[in-house]
A and B are shown apart, each in its own frame.
Chain A
Amino acid sequence: MSKIISVVGIVLIVAAGALTAVSASKEDVIKSKKALCAKYTKNAEAALAQKDFDKATKFAKLAIKVDPENKSGYKVLTKIADAQCSGNVPATNSTGAATKAKPKAAAAQEEELGC
């Protein structure tokens, strides 16, 4: 009896997967990459706001990796570099206020954007 249930189960799983793969379009794949990029960018900005430069850089790089044509990852990297150089965390959209912060000691991940 349970054997029948599981066979029905795997048939449903294959059907669901095949249906998804066949009905999804190239645009859907691109949309999913953009969604990931947006999430990573958001996380990078959030980490930056908390002055966690390591985490912010990691997320910014993931944003770039996942959607290389999207500029937002690069923008955040620039913001991070600025913040590390000047000690100022630039205004983010959510709070709209810049906060002064001690620059993180030279664990600089982004050599190419250094001070």
Chain B
Amino acid sequence: MNEKKYWSPVTAGILLGIALFISFMVAGQGMGASGAFARSSAQIAYTVDPNFAQNAYAGKYLKHGNALLNWTVIEVVGIFIGGFISALLARRIKPEVTRGKGYSSGKRLFFAFLGGVIVAAATRLTRGCTSGQALDGAATFSVGAWIFMLAAFGAGFFFAFLFKKQWKGVE
């Protein structure tokens, strides 16, 4: 990772840790993301079919009116805005399909999509993702966060060989 206005990971980590602390101190919770997607999915399904409110899982999102009226959802909108501002200032807004050298865009996008489906289901089991479960959980001394992190990263390293070609020479 070179020049182009990036902070070093340790710098970003310290600032992120301070931001997490502020979030805990104000809202009582930290950075989250998967919950926003779960709620969005539930709200879309409900809009198409109001009977969806009976769903065993999604029902709880739809009990109190719009599923999107929630701290994590709004915080995720914030993440988008903040990411946009930073990318804009660093001139990093550019449509592209990030992939290894010579790898097909079509295949890449397929795996991006499939990976999303898999990650989504996983986050419902793990009650959060690397932000809401790993980062927040570990910062608040949760054992579950470490169970999640070891399983997730362990699996990531383990299954990496399957996707060598997709990532070879990526930048």
- Are chains A and B touching in the complex at the 8 Å CB cutoff? yes
Report A13 CB to chain B, min CB distance, Å: 7
Write out the residue numbers on chain B whose beta carbons fall within 8 Å of the beta carbon of A107.
Answer: none
Closest-by-CB residue of B relative to A5 is B11
Segment 52-77 of A: residues with Cβ below 8 Å from B: none
Segment 1-24 of A: residues with Cβ below 8 Å from B: 2-3, 5-7, 9-10, 13
User: How many of chain B's residues touch chain A, expressed as a range?
Assistant: under 10
Q: Is B50 an interface residue (CB 8 A)?
A: no
Closest-by-CB residue of B relative to A3 is B8
Write out the residue numbers on chain A whose beta carbons fall within 8 Å of the beta carbon of B154.
Answer: none
Segment 1-54 of B: residues with Cβ below 8 Å from A: 7-8, 10-11, 13-14
Write out the residue numbers on chain A whose beta carbons fall within 8 Å of the beta carbon of B13.
Answer: 6, 10
Report B62 CB to chain A, min CB distance, Å: 26
Closest-by-CB residue of B relative to A13 is B14
A10:B8 contact, CB within 8 angstroms: no
A9:B8 contact, CB within 8 angstroms: no
A2:B8 contact, CB within 8 angstroms: yes
CA distance A2 to B12 in the complex (A): 11
Closest-by-CB residue of A relative to B11 is A6
Write out the residue numbers on chain B whose beta carbons fall within 8 Å of the beta carbon of A13.
Answer: 14
Write out the residue numbers on chain B whose beta carbons fall within 8 Å of the beta carbon of A2.
Answer: 7-8, 11
Report B106 CB to chain A, min CB distance, Å: 39
Write out the residue numbers on chain A whose beta carbons fall within 8 Å of the beta carbon of B14.
Answer: 6, 9-10, 13
CA distance A46 to B58 in the complex (A): 40
CA distance A71 to B13 in the complex (A): 43
Write out the residue numbers on chain A whose beta carbons fall within 8 Å of the beta carbon of B11.
Answer: 2-3, 5-6
Residue in B7, B10, B11, B13 whose Cβ sees the most chain A Cβ within 10 Å: B10
Per-position binary interface string of chain A over residues 19-42, scored 1 when its CB falls under 8 Å from any chain B CB and 0 otherwise: 000000000000000000000000
CA distance A5 to B10 in the complex (A): 10
CA distance A3 to B14 in the complex (A): 12
CA distance A10 to B13 in the complex (A): 9
CA distance A5 to B11 in the complex (A): 8
Could you jot down 19 A-B contacts, CB within 8 Å? A2-B7, A2-B8, A2-B11, A3-B8, A3-B10, A3-B11, A5-B11, A6-B8, A6-B10, A6-B11, A6-B13, A6-B14, A7-B10, A9-B10, A9-B14, A10-B10, A10-B13, A10-B14, A13-B14
Q: Which B residues lie at the A interface, using CB under 8 A?
A: 7-8, 10-11, 13-14
Q: Which A residues lie at the B interface, using CB under 8 A?
A: 2-3, 5-7, 9-10, 13
State the 4 A-B residue pairs at the shortest beta-carbon distance, nearest first.
A6-B11, A6-B10, A3-B8, A9-B14
